[in-house]
């Protein structure tokens, strides 16, 4: 009885801390949503934190049309989508070659891939830009898709290795005895068992590619290929700025990330747990 009484204040304190932390986490989203529906007058003076006195939905229309956010959203979707597909497929095939096949230099190549985890993506801006410029690939989707995929491979291969280790080698040996070749074993046996890794790699790659700014600013100067992260910056005027459409653009850019978190967070947790269990 005494233990229960002692635990009660502690549990109340814990709930208060969690409630405070929840408020801190949710408040920026609330502020961004209300910010996107206000005029400059409300944002900078009369009503900074409260709900809009007049809900200005035209801010979203202005962001999508005048601000070209619709075009930038499609560009981000194309770049991120193709980056995810390339990263998933290349990392799965590379992991199978590095872990299951035996060939000279296998460990060395694997170590080189893992070194990619120690190199920040922005530390390679200059050499990557020179390569893309010499190949005449700047101002194109490839200028972002190829570097994003290359810098995502190290993390993706590390994740795949944790999954492929729990697949029994006896399955592949049995398939080999039945006459299956390397490619058939990979696509018919290994690949279906690696499905939990798909979502894990896809989410990490999405977060990296969707929110990346530096490469998108330097490698893309043509507005036809701009992504959302760069496009939002163009909404700021030289002398005066209408901040409502900028808030609307931020909401548009943030929504896919929230969607991924709300509907796929449990899947990525389950896949990470599955990849951590061996035997």
pLDDT digits (tens, 9 = 90+) for 187-222: 888 888 888 788 888 888 998 899 888 899 999 988
- The pLDDT-based confidence of 169 (bands split at 50, 70, 90) is confident
Chain mean pLDDT for the chain: 83
Q: Provide the b/e sequence for 132-163 (b: ≥16 CB within 10 Å).
A: beeeebbbbbbbbbbbbbbbbbbbbbbbbbbb
Q: Which fold has domain 67-235?
A: MetI-like fold (1.10.3720)
Average pLDDT over residues 229-251: 78
Tell me the whole-structure pTM to 2 decimals: 0.82
What pLDDT band is residue 146 in, cutting at 50, 70 and 90?
Answer: very high
Sketch the domain layout of the chain as residue ranges.
7-57, 67-235
Q: Of 32, 219, 260, which Cα lies nearest the Cα of 130? A: 219
CA distances from 14 to 4, 104, 270 (A): 15, 56, 26
Percent of the chain with pLDDT over 90: 18
How deeply is 225 buried, as exposed, middle or buried, from its count of CB atoms within 10 A (0-12, 13-18, 19+)?
A: buried
Q: Is 212 exposed, middle or buried (0-12, 13-18, 19+ CB in 10 A)?
A: buried
Find out whether 260 and 208 touch, Cβ atoms under 8 Å: no
CB contact at 8 A, 196 and 271: yes
> In angstroms, rounded to a whole number, what is the distance separating the alpha carbons of residues 40 and 56?
11
Q: What is the pLDDT of residues 12-59, one digit of tens each?
A: 778 888 888 888 888 888 888 888 888 877 777 767 777 888 888 888
Report, as an integer, the average pLDDT of 131-152. Answer: 92
CB atoms within 10 A of CB 165: 13
The confidence score (pLDDT) of residue 74 equals: 92
Mean pLDDT value of segment 254-265: 78
Contact (Cβ atoms closer than 8 angstroms) between residue 158 and residue 199: no
Q: For the residues 245-258, what does the mean pLDDT come to?
A: 86
Q: Where are the alpha helices (DSSP H) in the chain?
A: 2-35, 40-41, 58-64, 69-99, 106-115, 125-134, 142-164, 169-177, 182-185, 191-193, 195-211, 214-219, 228-231, 243-276
Q: What is the pLDDT of residue 268?
A: 62
**Residue 140 predicted with pLDDT over 80:** yes
Q: Collect all residues with Cβ–Cβ distance below 8 Å to 16 and sequence separation of at least 6.
A: none
Q: Could you give the C-alpha distances from 270 to 55, 87, 162, 274, 275, in angstroms and in order? A: 40, 21, 14, 6, 9
What average pLDDT does this structure show over 262-267?
Answer: 70
């Amino acid at each position: 009885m005494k233990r229960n009484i002692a635990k009660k204040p502690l549990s109340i304190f814990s709930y208060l801390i969690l409630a405070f932390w929840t408020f801190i986490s949710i408040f920026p989203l609330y502020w961004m949503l209300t910010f996107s529906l206000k005029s400059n007058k409300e944002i900078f003076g009369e009503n900074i934190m409260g709900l809009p006195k007049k809900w200005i939905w035209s801010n979203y229309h202005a962001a999508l049309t005048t601000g070209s956010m619709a075009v930038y959203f499609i560009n981000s979707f194309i770049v991120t989508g193709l980056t995810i597909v390339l990263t998933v497929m290349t990392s799965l095939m590379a992991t199978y070659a590095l872990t299951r096949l035996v060939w000279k230099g296998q460990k060395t190549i694997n170590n080189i891939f893992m070194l990619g985890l120690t190199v920040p993506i922005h530390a390679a801006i200059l050499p990557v830009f020179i390569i893309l410029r010499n190949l005449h690939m700047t101002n194109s989707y490839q200028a972002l898709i190829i570097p994003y995929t290359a810098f995502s491979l190290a993390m993706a291969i590390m994740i795949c290795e944790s999954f492929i280790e729990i697949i029994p080698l006896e399955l592949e040996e049995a398939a080999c005895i039945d006459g299956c070749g390397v490619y058939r074993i990979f696509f018919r046996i290994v690949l279906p068992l690696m499905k939990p890794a798909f979502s894990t790699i896809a989410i990490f790659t999405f977060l990296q590619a969707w929110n990346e700014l530096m490469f998108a600013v330097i490698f893309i100067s043509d507005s036809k290929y701009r992504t959302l992260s760069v496009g939002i910056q163009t909404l700021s005027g030289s002398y005066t700025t209408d901040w409502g459409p900028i808030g609307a653009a931020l909401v548009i850019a943030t929504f896919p990330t929230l969607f991924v978190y709300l509907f796929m967070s449990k899947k990525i947790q389950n896949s990470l747990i599955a990849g951590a269990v061996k035997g």
